[in-house]
Structure 1
Amino acid sequence: MTIHNFSRFMRGMSAGNRITGRGEALSDEQLRAAVPSIFATDAHESRSARFAPVPTITVLDGLRAEGFEPFSAVQARTRIEGKAEYTKHMLRLRHRSLTNTEGDAFEIVLVNANDGTSAYHMMPGFFRFVCENGLMTGETFNEVRVRHSGNAIGEVIEGAYSVLEDAPVVVDQVSRWKSIALRDIEREALAEAAHTLRFPTADEAKPAAIQADALLRPRRSADRATDLWTAFNVVQENTIKGGLTGRVRDANGRTVRRSTREVAGIDQNRSLNRALWMLTERMAEIKAG
């Protein structure tokens, strides 16, 4: 995915309800209260008879049998009455043995909707406990994408195992990134590329709230390390979570303070996360060359 093409992904649906387990797996009761569309077993009434619903709870139960549990979930906002039970949602799962641990861990990311707004997606992810960063891998790894038609459930179940097979490969890639030391100029290049991804339409007339170097500001002392994995996490956290403050000139030429917002939309969060991962892959390739 090029920086030029990324802007078309920035139209993601805004997030509505969300819930995070804070180190503990989420129960069905907690999920039902916050993200009810996970439990839809049929399609929204707007869909035709050809639309094959994919009940996320069925997939979740299957992954639970493999030892994976949901630790966070978010559901897209909708103003259409009766659609909240079917709208787009995203789940992040990791193995139940990794509750309240340290370091980082492989995750499975699920995106689905039974109202026609999204195909079913499953992709590998990664979670960093110290900052509760939810990362998503790039296009190098398997992504399951199933349309809501035909034998959708069978394709989803088969695809789940292909994503699980990537776990050791993802872990190995992260391990390599931890061993790659970056110079200041390389960290700055990473931040500049991420800044362009996050603010693709910024210009002199409408500048971004922050400069690229703000994305390199560590939020904790442990993140002052200069390896590629740490630099990637600092940039990713600052890009996704927002909360950074900068100064820009408004239309009247006055200097005003602006703050960055969290990337809350499901589509935008996913696309930006994956683009940042691919950017880091490219940096690793350059360093290896």
Structure 2
Amino acid sequence: MGLLERCQDLFKTSSLYEVLGINKDATETEIRRSYYKVSMKVHPDRAPEDPQATEKFQVLGKLYAVLSDKEQRAIYDEQGVVDEESDVLSQDRCWEEYWRLLFPKITKEDILAFEKKYKGSDEEREDVIRIYVQHKGDMDAVTSSVMCFSQEDEPRICSIIQAAIESGEVEAFPAFTQECDKKKRARRKRADREREEAEEMQKEMGLDDQDDSLVMLLKQRQQSREKNFNSFLSDLEAKYSKKSAKPQKGKKGKK
């Protein structure tokens, strides 16, 4: 039975997008988020009462592998079929390991340790100055790009930039030196809204304070801007987390 047939059998629809509850125009971020949300509901460890949980979990892994591969997704979007012989759908892949690679276990302690070491460090200062120059003083862009940033950090970040300006290290961009109070207030309101959205996402996904998934990190750091969320995780994993080995693909036997 092919992937589309298995989706119909297990999820009552042969549409890969409908299984995840998204539309055909969904972004990579939306696909990843929806895959996490749906797969958590059927994860064998979380749904032991569902006799089809393991099979559903495996099918979701294959579904995500197709939609996250540009070439395979294009084929599906254009022709409505899935290339069952592609390496993407290797029957020998461990889908549990694949899932763990996408959503590795990083604890709140890892986050706090990283934050404690990073904030106030030379590395943070260098990042702040680089981002300030890159965005020509636009504090909306700066605050959304600095790792581990929370609204309470803004005065400290501004003081780092101001000191660099006064020392002649960087240019005094008008976007920074002449920023109006209205824009500052709007930024604070946006930060509050994003925090509320992150908390709402936590409730929607049924996560509690002990959940150490990647999506939980989104809530913990209150970073609902996906590009910064991914950047933060990438740096954290590279510097402070053990790297997981890539799942080994077995060789297909001849038919």
TM-score between the two structures when normalised by the length of structure 2:
0.35
Name the one with the larger strand percent.
1
Name the one with the larger helix percent.
2
Structure number, greater radius of gyration: 2
